[in-house]
Structure 1
Amino acid sequence: MDRRFRNTLAITATAAILLIAVLAAYSYSILRDRDAPTETAPIIPSQRELDYLNVSILGDSYTVGDGADGRQYAYPARISRMLCWVLNTSGKPGSGYRASGTGAAGSDFTDPVRIKSALDKEPDLILLQGGLYDAGLPGVQNAAVETIRAIQDGKSGRTVVVVIGPVLAPASDPSELLSVRDDLAAAASERGVLFVDPIAEEWLTSQDSFSENGMTINRRGHSEYAERLAASLRGSGALSRDSCAPVS
């Protein structure tokens, strides 16, 4: 038997042994899997919807988001993420209960178009945010009463109305703002709605929370405003439910 034939025979024998080993291992794995207990793949529950609260805000430059460097950083967007709100805003820079704001399209809070916008989609909660730009103007209390009454006449029975007074902005006249605050508090009391008082609660006491103009708030101010407002609403019972709770 020559050497070449012997080498071929050896290679063939080795290949046959490897094939037998592979088949044996494969057969064992099949028998093992057949006898093993059946496992069910874990079921991952689908994400549940939250019990979102429908909220409208009628407001001024703060509600527009001036000074926040992006509306996603403005207090309405921040608090809506914190409290799980579906948000509808009607904000106009420089406007208030008597102040019509800047630009040719300015209008105050008594404007029926803005009130109708705030009532859109039957909100659970309506926030009236303003008063800063009403400083020094006459008739603020009557205008606030008119605004609240119009909203109450148009709202559904479950809608909660909250009036938010002005903050003590560095560039404003403190005595005039305190007068506006008192007018809004009196209007809210007359109409039987909640009044949130940022001046009494000492919101945004640092000038670092304000833009260079001393009236609008910057990104830091918007963050604090959202946190303080959320705390006030939670503490007052104005929130009808935990809107961040999953729907059962």
Structure 2
Amino acid sequence: MSRLATFLIGLSFLAGVGIAYPAQVHTYETLTLDFRLNHVAVVGDSYTTGTDEGGLGSRSWTSRAWQLLGSRGSRISGSVAAEGKAGYGMPGDHGSIFEDLTARAVQPDDALVVFFGSRNDQGVDPGTLTVKTNAALDLAHRLAPAARLLVIGPPWPTVDVPPSMFLIRDILAGAAGAAGATFIDPIAEHWFVDRPDLIGADGVHPNDAGHQYMADKIAPLIRTQLST
């Protein structure tokens, strides 16, 4: 057999291999590395501090959210000021409302301020709650003029949401809109609903799994705010 014939047969074989086994296409998820250190302040209640039911220390949703964000390339320096039983208008265990906690947590170089809660504002006069909520958001703007604001309303772990919670939700949504903040509504999104495994024995506070659940919900919200 001539060299030319051998060469042509070889080409035919390679062409056949190419038809029978097309090249595989691999899709890779892009990981964006943000080498900046993003300063994030968080203001909240016992859902943020953690309780004996769960979420204490490194098991809190904030600690776990920072870990999740770090694994996705977003470096976070978090400042958390939270107090059990506190709300925008309801003083907590140590007499603080969210405006007081805002003054402790927020720094001028913050990129984002997160407010989370609060069911503790049940019973607060609606007019007072509106004034106090506006005051907390306004203070965050004044302390960190360049920061975005993310306002997360209070969740309720069952479908039987009391009317007082809808009132709180609506007041927070209105204040967030007026402040140019992003508002997230856990009640409408049914956070914790039909998930008793995420709530402690007291029927109110998240356990460790519940804090991981909150981190999984909130970390992407924070990442979106930092990337826009």
Verify: 1:72 aligned to 2:58, yes or no. yes
Measured in 1, the distance between the counterparts of 2:156 and 2:56 equals 23
> How much has 1:233 moved relative to structure 2?
3.7
Is the contact between residue 130 and residue 171 of structure 2 (CA under 8 Å) also seen in structure 1? Answer: yes
Structure 1 partner of 2:130: 141
Q: Which moved more, 1:192-201 or 1:88-97?
A: 192-201
In the TM superposition, what are the counterparts of 1:197-208 in structure 2 within 5 Å?
A: 197-205=185-193, 206-208=195-197
Q: Which moved more, 1:212-221 or 1:178-187?
A: 212-221
Structure 2 unaligned regions, length at least 5: 1-32, 71-75
> How much has 1:143 moved relative to structure 2?
1.1
After TM superposition, the score normalised by the length of structure 2 is: 0.75
Measured in 2, the distance between the counterparts of 1:201 and 1:231 equals 15
Verify: 1:93 aligned to 2:75, yes or no. no
> How much has 1:69 moved relative to structure 2?
5.2
Structure 1 partner of 2:216: 227
CA 1:90–1:69: 2 relative to 1, 3 Å: closer
Measured in 2, the distance between the counterparts of 1:189 and 1:121 equals 22
Verify: 1:217 aligned to 2:203, yes or no. no
> How much has 1:212 moved relative to structure 2?
1.8
Structure 1 partner of 2:48: 63
Measured in 2, the distance between the counterparts of 1:110 and 1:152 equals 12
In the TM superposition, what are the counterparts of 1:164-243 in structure 2 within 5 Å?
A: 164-170=152-158, 174-205=162-193, 206-234=195-223, 237-240=224-227
Is the contact between residue 171 and residue 213 of structure 1 (CA under 8 Å) also seen in structure 2? Answer: no
Structure 1 partner of 2:23: none
- Matched length: 187
Verify: 1:110 aligned to 2:99, yes or no. yes
Measured in 2, the distance between the counterparts of 1:196 and 1:49 equals 25
Structure 1 unaligned regions, length at least 5: 1-47, 242-248
Verify: 1:53 aligned to 2:38, yes or no. yes
Measured in 1, the distance between the counterparts of 2:34 and 2:111 equals 18
Q: Name the amino acid aligned to 2:113.
A: I
> How much has 1:171 moved relative to structure 2?
11
Measured in 2, the distance between the counterparts of 1:182 and 1:151 equals 20
> How much has 1:170 moved relative to structure 2?
4.8
Q: Name the amino acid aligned to 2:115.
A: L
In the TM superposition, what are the counterparts of 1:8-27 in structure 2 within 5 Å?
A: none
> How much has 1:227 moved relative to structure 2?
0.5
Structure 2 partner of 1:130: 117
> Identity of aligned pairs, percent?
27
The structure that has the greater radius of gyration is: 1
Is the contact between residue 93 and residue 101 of structure 1 (CA under 8 Å) also seen in structure 2? Answer: yes
Measured in 2, the distance between the counterparts of 1:90 and 1:160 equals 17
Is the contact between residue 116 and residue 154 of structure 2 (CA under 8 Å) also seen in structure 1? Answer: yes
Is the contact between residue 52 and residue 86 of structure 1 (CA under 8 Å) also seen in structure 2? Answer: yes
> How much has 1:74 moved relative to structure 2?
0.9
Measured in 1, the distance between the counterparts of 2:215 and 2:46 equals 14
Q: Name the amino acid aligned to 1:93.
A: G
Structural RMSD (CA): 2.2
Q: Name the amino acid aligned to 2:106.
A: L
Is the contact between residue 42 and residue 113 of structure 2 (CA under 8 Å) also seen in structure 1? Answer: yes
